[in-house]
Amino acid sequence: MTTKFTPDHEYIRVEGSTGIVGITPYAQNALGDIVFVELPSVGKVLKKGDEAAVVESVKAASEIYAPVAGTVSEINEALSGEPGLINTDPESGGWIYKITIADASELDGLLDDAAYAELTK
């Protein structure tokens, strides 16, 4: 199981052909209290870089982009009632959506742990 990162602070945790996408602890801290999450529809086909979801803090809305191309296979319905999960547990309970990865080679273009840590240090 590997986790990759985008320069826009999304993570994608790869489990076989599925990627679990959310935002990093660094990103949730920067955004502040999340009060609303607009989730994609299951079955939505995304290109790398497409807007996949929107998270809203008290102050502002932020787009969440697709780290790789694929099809949305599952969404985290718990966020509709409890958007703050993104703040309290961004890497686990606060995941946003799962994507069936269309082309695994796109993962190679993303940041690994060390590169992301360097970006946010």
Whether the Cβ atoms of residue 70 and residue 21 lie closer than 8 Å to each other: no
Q: Of the candidates 72, 75, 92, which has an alpha carbon nearest to the alpha carbon of residue 24?
A: 92
Counting residues that bind other proteins (by CB under 8 A) gives 12
How many Cα neighbours within 13 Å face the side chain of 103?
13
| Selected binder of other proteins within 16, 41, 43, 60 (CB under 8 A) | 60
Q: Of the candidates 112, 119, 57, 116, which has an alpha carbon nearest to the alpha carbon of residue 86?
A: 57
- Residue 112 touching other proteins (CB under 8 A): no
CA 108-64-15 angle, to 5 degrees, is 45
Q: How many CB atoms lie within 10 A of CB 58?
A: 10
Residues 82-101 that bind other proteins (CB under 8 A): none
Assigned token pair, 63 = 């787009």
- Residue 54 touching other proteins (CB under 8 A): yes
| Selected binder of other proteins within 35, 42, 78, 104 (CB under 8 A) | 35
CB of residue 54 to other proteins, shortest distance in Å? 7
Taking CB under 8 A as the binding criterion, the range among 14-22, 29-37, 70-78, 102-110 that sits at the site for other proteins is 29-37
Cβ closest to other proteins, residue 4 vs residue 9: 9
**Which residues would be at the binding site for other proteins (CB under 8 A)?**
32-33, 35-36, 38, 54, 56-61
